[in-house]
Structure 1
Amino acid sequence: MTSAVAVIDPVCLSPYEFAYLDEETGTEAAILRLAGALSNDCRFQFYQAGRTDVTRDAGGLYRPLDMLKVEDLTSVSNVIVVSSWKTALKVSKLGPGCPVFLWMHSPPGRHNRRMGDALAAAGIEIVCASESLAKHVHAFLADANDKLPAISSIPDPVADELKPDTTPRDIDRLFFPGAPHKGLSEALVKFAALRRTRPTLRLEVAEHDNLVWPENTVPDGVHFLGKLSDKARIEIMRSSLCVFHPQSRFAETSGLTLAEANAVGTPVLAHAGLGSNDEILLTPGQCVDTNDLSAVGARIDDWRRDFPAIATAPGHRLSEVAAAWKRKLTPQIVAEPTRTATSGATPERAALPNGPSR
C-alpha cells in the first residue's frame, strides 16, 4: 500500500516537475529525485508557490500553492514543508493528523531564533540537508528556547549511477561550479595567485561573466561558461583536475555539488572546518586551510603528479537517501477527515503564505 505525501514549497519562484528533472538543480532537484525514488511507496502531491497550472507526471500531482485545501491535508500520511517554518506551523494548526516535517537547506535568519518553542509544541521535526546544518540549527535555537523540536539530517541525494569512468583528465583544468555568492570572488583571487607560478592552469566557471565580474578585468586563465545543465556540469567535473572551491567565508550547508564531484572520482579543494565540507569530502587531502596559498598550491601540485582515488561519503547515494526518508514516511493510520465540503459548498482553503515567508 502506498501512502500520500504532500510536499509544500512556499519559497520556489518557478514551478518544477519530475518530467524536467534534468533542468533542475539544488533543492528542487533533490525533491524531485526523492519523489522518483519513492514512487513505488508514496504518492506525492506538490503545492508550489511559483506554479499557476495543475499537471501530473511520474513524480506526482502538481498544484499551485493557493489551491491547497484543508481536505487535501486530511487525506495524506505525511507533510513535508520546504524551508518555511511559519508555513509548517500553519499546516500543523490545520490539523492534518499526520507528521509534519520542515526540510531545511539553509540556516534560519536571526529573527527566527524563537521558532524552536513553536515547532516543538507542534511536534514538527526539522530535517536538515547535512549534519553540520543540523548542529548549527540546534546551537542556534538552544539558547533562545525552552524546548527544541526533533532535529535530524538527511543529505541531498547523489544519483546512484554517478561513478568514475574513463574520461581523460586535463591536469591544467580547474572547475568552479557556479553561484557567485558562494565565494567566487575569493576563488578568483586565489586562482590568480596560484597561476603566477603555474601559468598553464585554467579555471572554468559555471556562470556568466557579466553577472560576477562586471567592472573588472577577468583574471588570466579564467573562462566563464555560463549556466550549465546538470549533465554538462558533471561532464566538466569528470575531465577536470579538481573542483576548485577554496573560499573560506560561505558555509555550504548541503554541498550536493561537492558530493557529486567525489561520486565521479573528482577531488574537491575546499576550506577545512567550513560548513559541510569535512563531512562530505572524506577522502584525505581535500580539505585544507585555503588561506594558506602554499598549502593550496602544494595540494594542486600533488594531484597533478599523482591523481588521487576518491570515494563518495556513505549515506549520500539516492538509494540510501530514499531509504532514510522512507523510514520517516512510514505509512501511518490516517483518521477519517473531520471536515468535508457539503454538496455545492466551496471547499475551505488553507490560509498559507504565498511568498517566501520564513
Structure 2
Amino acid sequence: MTRLLFIDPTTSHPYQPRTLYDRAAGATPTSVVRVAEGLAQRGHRVTVAQCHRSWPSRSPGGVAYVPFAFYGSWSHLPSADAVVVVEQHKVLPRVRRQFPEARLALWLRDVPGRRRRSLGSTAAEADATVVCVSDAHRAAVRDLLDGADGWARTARIHDPVDDTAEPDGTVPDRTKLVAVANLGGGLGEVLAAFAHVRTARPGVRLYVVGEGRMEGGLSPGVVPLGPLPHREVMRHVREAFAVFQPQAGAEVISGRLFAEANAVGTPVLAHAHAAVREALAESPGAQGQLVDARDPTAAARRLARWWEEGRPPVMCPLFLRTSRVVADWERLLEVEVPSRAVRVVPAPVARVPAAVAA
C-alpha cells in the first residue's frame, strides 16, 4: 500500500466528495477529489490536506481530508511515499524538508505567468515534477520556463472525466444552449455569437452557468443560472442542444468541460484552441464541433446546419476517463499498484496517450 498525500494550499473552501454534489466546487476541487478517490479505490492510502478546513473528515471511499496551514504545524500530516502539491510552488521547499525521500509533484492549474522564474528554480531545487493538464498547457509552461533559473521536469496528466458519465436518454431541447461563464476571457464573444443565432431563431435561449461578466448587461434570450453543483450543470448540459462556447480570446488549458459534454452525448461549439482539440480528438464529431470564433457568425452557421441535418455523434475519449487518469498518476508517482486494485473502465484501448515526463 502506497501512502499518497495531496496538499492544496490555495483552495477558497474545504471540499470532499459530498461537496461536489452540494455546491459549485470548481474545476480544481473536482479534479483533486476524483483523482484522490480513484487512487484510494485502487488500494492506496490517500490523504488530502487543504487550507480553510477546520476538522478532519474521512470519505466513504477511505480518503482522509485534513486541515492544512502553510505557516502552522504540519505534525498532523501522515508519512508519505509521494506528495502532490496543488498549484502553489512556494510550498515545495518546506514539503521537501518534511518529506525528504518522497516523490514530489507540483500540479499546475493555470499558466504561471510572471511566477515562471521562481517556479522553475523552486521545482528544480525540490526535485519536483511540474504536472500540466494538457499537452497545450505543458507546451505553454515549458515556453514560460525556458531560460529561467533552474530546470524543472514537466509531465502531462489530463483532468479526469467521471467514468460513469454517459447518455441517459434525456431528449435534448432544440431551443436550449448552455455556456459556462467562468471559462476565462469574459462572455463578450459568446454573447456576440449568440446574437447571430437569435437573429435566425428568436426562440433560442442561452443558459449561462457560473459567475462571469455580462458585458453590456443581460442580452435577450440569455438565462443566467449562477454557480451550480456539478450534477446540476450536467443536467442542463444533457438537456441542451449543444454547449455553446465560441471564445477565441479565452485562455483554455483543459478541455474537460467539452469532453464531459461529449460523454453525456451533447456536442459542443467551441473555438479550435489546442486544448479543446486535444480533448475532442477521438470523438467522431470532433472537427464538426470546432469553429473559428474570431468570426462571430461561424457558430450560428454551424448550428443552423445541425438543426437541419442533425447533431454530430460524439463520445468522450477513454484516455480522459478517471480510471485512466488515475493510472497516469500511478505511473508518474512510481507507486506500486496493489493486487486488489479495482478498475472501473477495464477495457484495453490500443491508443491511449500516457503521461510523458521529460
TM-score computed with the length of structure 2 as normaliser: 0.84
Aligned equivalents of 2:183, 2:290: Cα separation in 1:
21
> In structure 2, what is the equivalent of residue 8 of structure 1?
7
Offset at residue 217 of structure 1 (A): 4.3
Offset at residue 220 of structure 1 (A): 1.2
Q: Which runs of 5+ in 1 are unaligned?
A: 333-358
Offset at residue 124 of structure 1 (A): 0.5
Across the aligned residues of Structure 1 and Structure 2, the Cα RMSD in angstroms comes to 2.1
Aligned AA (2:166): K
Is the Cα–Cα contact under 8 Å of residues 136 and 253 in structure 2 kept in the other structure? Answer: yes
Match of 1:83 among 78, 81, 87: 87
Aligned AA (2:136): S
Offset at residue 271 of structure 1 (A): 1.0
> In structure 1, what is the equivalent of residue 255 of structure 2?
255
> In structure 1, what is the equivalent of residue 106 of structure 2?
102
| Higher CA-based Rg | 1
Match of 2:172 among 169, 174, 190: 169
Aligned equivalents of 2:296, 2:278: Cα separation in 1:
23
Greater Cα shift, 154-163 or 290-299:
290-299
Aligned AA (2:84): I
Aligned AA (1:60): V
Q: Does 1:54 align with 2:60?
A: no
Offset at residue 238 of structure 1 (A): 1.2
Q: Which runs of 5+ in 2 are unaligned?
A: 337-358
Over 3 Å counting, the alpha-carbon distance change for 1:111 and 1:77 in structure 2 is closer
Offset at residue 5 of structure 1 (A): 1.0
> In structure 2, what is the equivalent of residue 154 of structure 1?
157
Offset at residue 104 of structure 1 (A): 0.8
> In structure 2, what is the equivalent of residue 42 of structure 1?
44
Is the Cα–Cα contact under 8 Å of residues 106 and 130 in structure 2 kept in the other structure? Answer: yes
Offset at residue 20 of structure 1 (A): 3.2
Is the Cα–Cα contact under 8 Å of residues 315 and 321 in structure 1 kept in the other structure? Answer: yes
Offset at residue 221 of structure 1 (A): 1.0
Q: Does 1:139 align with 2:138?
A: no
Is the Cα–Cα contact under 8 Å of residues 180 and 212 in structure 1 kept in the other structure? Answer: no
Aligned equivalents of 2:221, 2:56: Cα separation in 1:
47
Aligned equivalents of 2:91, 2:98: Cα separation in 1:
11
Secondary structure of the equivalent of 2:297?
helix
Aligned equivalents of 2:126, 2:229: Cα separation in 1:
40
Offset at residue 55 of structure 1 (A): 2.3
Over 3 Å counting, the alpha-carbon distance change for 1:111 and 1:156 in structure 2 is closer
TM-score computed with the length of structure 1 as normaliser: 0.84
Secondary structure of the equivalent of 2:288?
coil
Secondary structure of the equivalent of 1:241?
strand
Is the Cα–Cα contact under 8 Å of residues 128 and 155 in structure 1 kept in the other structure? Answer: yes
Q: Which of the pair has the greater relative contact order for Cα pairs under 8 Å at 6+ separation?
A: 1
Over 3 Å counting, the alpha-carbon distance change for 1:184 and 1:53 in structure 2 is same
Offset at residue 205 of structure 1 (A): 0.8
Is the Cα–Cα contact under 8 Å of residues 83 and 103 in structure 1 kept in the other structure? Answer: yes
Give identity over the alignment, percent: 33
Aligned AA (1:17): Q
> In structure 2, what is the equivalent of residue 198 of structure 1?
201
Secondary structure of the equivalent of 1:28?
helix
Q: Does 1:286 align with 2:289?
A: yes
Offset at residue 137 of structure 1 (A): 0.5
Is the Cα–Cα contact under 8 Å of residues 175 and 244 in structure 1 kept in the other structure? Answer: yes
Aligned AA (2:167): P
Is the Cα–Cα contact under 8 Å of residues 172 and 239 in structure 2 kept in the other structure? Answer: yes
> In structure 1, what is the equivalent of residue 348 of structure 2?
none
> In structure 1, what is the equivalent of residue 220 of structure 2?
220
Offset at residue 275 of structure 1 (A): 5.0
Secondary structure of the equivalent of 1:269?
strand
Matches within 5 A, 1:224-243: 224-243=224-243
Offset at residue 179 of structure 1 (A): 1.6
Offset at residue 82 of structure 1 (A): 0.3
Is the Cα–Cα contact under 8 Å of residues 251 and 276 in structure 1 kept in the other structure? Answer: no
Q: Paired residues, what number?
A: 325
Deviations 1:142-173 (A, max 9, x none): 1224x422111111111111112321112221
Aligned AA (1:53): W
Is the Cα–Cα contact under 8 Å of residues 68 and 74 in structure 2 kept in the other structure? Answer: no
> In structure 1, what is the equivalent of residue 344 of structure 2?
none
Is the Cα–Cα contact under 8 Å of residues 259 and 280 in structure 1 kept in the other structure? Answer: yes
Secondary structure of the equivalent of 1:290?
coil
Aligned equivalents of 2:291, 2:93: Cα separation in 1:
41
Aligned equivalents of 1:143, 1:314: Cα separation in 2:
36
Is the Cα–Cα contact under 8 Å of residues 47 and 68 in structure 1 kept in the other structure? Answer: no
Aligned equivalents of 2:10, 2:210: Cα separation in 1:
23
Offset at residue 27 of structure 1 (A): 0.8
